[in-house]
A and B are shown apart, each in its own frame.
Chain A
C-alpha cells in the first residue's frame, strides 16, 4: 500500500468529482475565482465536500489551508449535506421588533431541533439568518431560498407541513 502512494498521485475519486471538475473548468480562469467555484459546487450539490478542497487548491494554485480558510470563514458554505429542505428564520433587529424570537422558538419546538440542526428524519435543516431585506414585511423566513414575509406561527406550520 505504502509504495502506491507516490507524491502527486491523483486524489481518490469521490461521488462528486464531475461537479467539482466542472466548476473548476468553468470558472478557474476568472480573476479571484475561489468564491465563484465554491458557490458553483454548492449550488449543484448543496454543500462543499471535503474532497473538493485539494482539487480546488491545486487548480487555483492555492494551499489547502487557504481554501479551507475561505470555506470556513463564510456562513454560507457547508461542509456536509443539509436536510432535504432548508428553513431559515431571520433574527435581525427588524424581525425581532415583530416577534422573530418567539417565531424561532416556535420553529425549534415544531421541528424538535435547534438552529444548525437537521430534523431526525433528515427532512428539514433549521438556520438563523441575519436580514433578508424584507424588513417592511417582518418577520421573515425562507424555505429553500424563497422568502415568506409577515410570518406567523400558524403560517409557519402550514409551510412546514407542505415539506413533510
Chain B
C-alpha cells in the first residue's frame, strides 16, 4: 500500500530547499522500492521547521523537520515512512505546541490539504458556505457578515458587512468584487500562504461576496513579488471554472461570476485601495480622492467590493458555521481570529492564528521563543512599515484593534517584526521616511515632499546638528504629514518615526524629556 508523504510547495518552504527535499524523497523511495504518494501541500506555518516533511501513518500525520536533502537517506533508514524515530522527528503534527494552541478558522485547511485538489477542499468543509449563500437573499448574506463582526483584515479594519451593504444598495448594471492581494508590508505573508496553500477558499469567499452584492466579475490584484502564488491561484481558477464553481452559472444556480488574476508591478502604494483600482484600470497607481467611496464608484466607476485576501478567506466559514460561531472568538469590537505573522529576528517565526486578545508578549515569547540571535528583544514593529515600534514596556498590550489604536499603534495586517538590542532606532525612523519617499505616488505634497525632508531632518539629528531644534522640526513635519496626507502612506509614516523618538530617544541622542515635551 502506498504511503502519503507531504512536502510543502509554499514559497517560503521552497526558499529553504523544499523542492530538493521532495526530489530526494522521490528518488530514494524509488531506489528502495517504496510505494509513496508525494503531496505538495501548503505550509503549516512553522517556518523555522521548514522544509517540514509529514508522513501519513495509521496514528495520524507525523512531522520531521527541518529536513535537508542530505537527511533523506537517513530518514528512510530510520523507517520514517512508518513514523520511525530520527533526530528530526517532531512527533504528531497536531501535537506540536505552536500549532496545537492555535485557533485556526481561516487557515483551517492550509498545510493539511493538497491546495489544488477540489476533492480535498470539499472533504475538508469546502464550498459549504457558498452552497448556503446560494440559498439566501443577498441582504441576508450581508446581515450574516455584519453579525459576525468581521472587519477588513488588510489593515484598516472597516466592518466588511457594512461595506458590502453599501455595494448591495448601490444601483448599477455592473458591479465588481476586487481582492487586494498586494501584500507589501514587510513581515506579512498570510495572503501569500492562503493563495499558495488553500486558493479555493479565496475563490469561495469572493464568489459569496459577488452573490451577496450582485456582482458578476471579480479581480484579484496580486503583487508581482509572489510568482508562486500567481501560478497556484491561476491553476485554481481554471479548476474551479471547469467544475462549475465559477462561470456563467455557479453550481447551476443561474448566477454568473468570472474571476481574473491581475499582476501588480512592484509599487507598494497599489496596496492602497484607490491606487489599486487605478492600476487595475491600467494607469499609474495614483491615489484617488475619497469620496466617492469605491463602494459607490470603484473599478471603472462602478460599485465595487474591495477586501483583502484574509477578509474574503474568512467569509466561507462564517456562511458555513454561522455568524455567531465566528463572533464568539475575540474581544471587544475585534471579533473572530487574526492570522498573526511572526517575523524578523525571532527564534520561531511563522503563522499564528488566534482570537483577538492574546498579548504581544505571549506571541513573542510563548510562540516566538524570543529573538533568533539570543539577545534581548528591544523593539517590535506591528502592522508593517506604517506601524509603530513598540518597546518592551508595551508587550502586555492585548492584540485588539482598539487597544492598539489607543497607544498610537495599529495591528494592521497582523505582521509582527522583531528586533534585538543591536537595532538603531534612529536608523529605522530614517528608513520609514526613506521608504515613504521611494513609494510615494506623488499626488499630495505632505507625502511626496515631507518624506524627503524627513530623511534630511533625521540625518541632521543623527549627525548631532542642533538636535533639539531638529527633533521639534521633525515632530512638526510628522504632524503635517499625519493630518495633510491624502492616504495612509504619508498619513501613517509618522507612526514608526514618532514611536521611535518617543520610546527610544537615546538613539537620537536626545534626553527623554526633550523628546516627550516637544
The total number of A-B Cβ pairs within 8 Å is 149
Verify B11–A134 contact, CB threshold 8 A: yes
- Judge if A45 is at the interface, Cβ distance under 8 Å: no
A136-B300 CB under 8 A given contacts A93-B187, A145-B227: no
CB distance from B274 to the nearest CB of A (A): 14
Chain B residues with Cβ under 8 A from A140's Cβ?
15
CB distance from A16 to the nearest CB of B (A): 19
Name B251-285 residues within 8 Å CB distance of A: 262-268, 279-285
- Judge if B9 is at the interface, Cβ distance under 8 Å: no
- Judge if B50 is at the interface, Cβ distance under 8 Å: yes
In addition to A35-B264, A136-B48, 14 A-B residue pairs with Cβ atoms within 8 Å of each other are: A32-B281, A32-B282, A93-B187, A97-B344, A97-B345, A97-B418, A97-B419, A98-B372, A134-B11, A136-B341, A136-B351, A145-B227, A148-B16, A149-B16
Verify A94–B186 contact, CB threshold 8 A: yes
> Chain B interface (Cβ within 8 Å of chain A)?
11-12, 14-16, 47-48, 50, 183-189, 191-192, 224-227, 262-268, 279-285, 300, 341-346, 349-351, 372, 381, 385, 415, 417-420, 423, 428, 431, 435, 438-439
The docked-state distance in angstroms from the alpha carbon of A149 to that of B189 is 14
CB distance from A33 to the nearest CB of B (A): 6
CB distance from B470 to the nearest CB of A (A): 24
Question: Quick one: closest B residue to A131, CB to CB?
Answer: B186
Verify B225–A132 contact, CB threshold 8 A: yes
CB distance from B465 to the nearest CB of A (A): 24
Verify B224–A135 contact, CB threshold 8 A: no
Verify A135–B187 contact, CB threshold 8 A: yes
- Judge if A153 is at the interface, Cβ distance under 8 Å: no
Verify A131–B225 contact, CB threshold 8 A: yes
- Judge if A138 is at the interface, Cβ distance under 8 Å: yes
Name A113-164 residues within 8 Å CB distance of B: 129-138, 140, 145-150
CB distance from A133 to the nearest CB of B (A): 4
Verify A135–B341 contact, CB threshold 8 A: yes
The docked-state distance in angstroms from the alpha carbon of A97 to that of B431 is 12
Verify A76–B349 contact, CB threshold 8 A: no
Chain B residues with Cβ under 8 A from A137's Cβ?
12, 15-16, 47, 50, 349
Verify B189–A136 contact, CB threshold 8 A: yes
A135-B11 CB under 8 A given contacts A69-B284, A94-B417: no
Name A82-110 residues within 8 Å CB distance of B: 92-98
CB distance from A93 to the nearest CB of B (A): 4
Verify B342–A136 contact, CB threshold 8 A: yes
- Judge if A34 is at the interface, Cβ distance under 8 Å: yes
CB distance from B298 to the nearest CB of A (A): 13
Total contacting residues, chain A, CB less than 8 A: 41
CB distance from B413 to the nearest CB of A (A): 11
Chain A residues with Cβ under 8 A from B415's Cβ?
135
CB distance from B441 to the nearest CB of A (A): 8
Chain A residues with Cβ under 8 A from B345's Cβ?
97-98, 138
- Judge if A77 is at the interface, Cβ distance under 8 Å: yes
The docked-state distance in angstroms from the alpha carbon of A129 to that of B439 is 12
The docked-state distance in angstroms from the alpha carbon of A73 to that of B264 is 12
CB distance from A99 to the nearest CB of B (A): 9
The docked-state distance in angstroms from the alpha carbon of A98 to that of B14 is 19
Chain A residues with Cβ under 8 A from B192's Cβ?
133
Q: Which of A35, A75, A148 has the most CB of B within 10 A?
A: A35
Chain B residues with Cβ under 8 A from A94's Cβ?
186-187, 343-344, 417
From B282, B284, B419, B435, contact of A33 by CB (8 A):
B282
CB distance from B440 to the nearest CB of A (A): 11
Verify A136–B16 contact, CB threshold 8 A: no
Verify A73–B11 contact, CB threshold 8 A: no
From A36, A75, A149, contact of B267 by CB (8 A):
A75
The docked-state distance in angstroms from the alpha carbon of A36 to that of B346 is 38
The docked-state distance in angstroms from the alpha carbon of A66 to that of B283 is 8
Question: Quick one: closest B residue to A132, CB to CB?
Answer: B225
Question: Quick one: closest B residue to A77, CB to CB?
Answer: B265
From A31, A70, A92, contact of B385 by CB (8 A):
A92
Verify A135–B349 contact, CB threshold 8 A: yes
Chain A residues with Cβ under 8 A from B226's Cβ?
133
From A34, A39, A66, A134, contact of B263 by CB (8 A):
A39
The docked-state distance in angstroms from the alpha carbon of A76 to that of B263 is 11
Chain A residues with Cβ under 8 A from B344's Cβ?
93-94, 97-98, 135, 138
Pick the 8 closest A-B CB pairs, nearest first: A136-B349, A34-B282, A135-B343, A92-B186, A74-B265, A136-B47, A149-B15, A75-B266
The docked-state distance in angstroms from the alpha carbon of A137 to that of B283 is 34
CB<8 Å pairs between A and B, sample of 21: A31-B281, A35-B265, A35-B282, A36-B262, A36-B282, A38-B265, A60-B282, A73-B267, A75-B267, A92-B385, A92-B435, A96-B428, A129-B266, A131-B186, A133-B12, A133-B191, A136-B12, A137-B47, A145-B227, A149-B16, A150-B15
Q: Which of A33, A34, A66, A130 has the most CB of B within 10 A?
A: A130
The docked-state distance in angstroms from the alpha carbon of A87 to that of B28 is 33
Chain A residues with Cβ under 8 A from B268's Cβ?
130
A96-B431 CB under 8 A given contacts A135-B341, A135-B349: yes
The docked-state distance in angstroms from the alpha carbon of A34 to that of B343 is 35
From B48, B265, B423, B438, contact of A76 by CB (8 A):
B265
A23-50 vs B: 1/0 string, CB under 8 Å?
Answer: 0000000011111101100000000000
Chain A residues with Cβ under 8 A from B439's Cβ?
130
Question: Quick one: closest A residue to B434, CB to CB?
Answer: A91
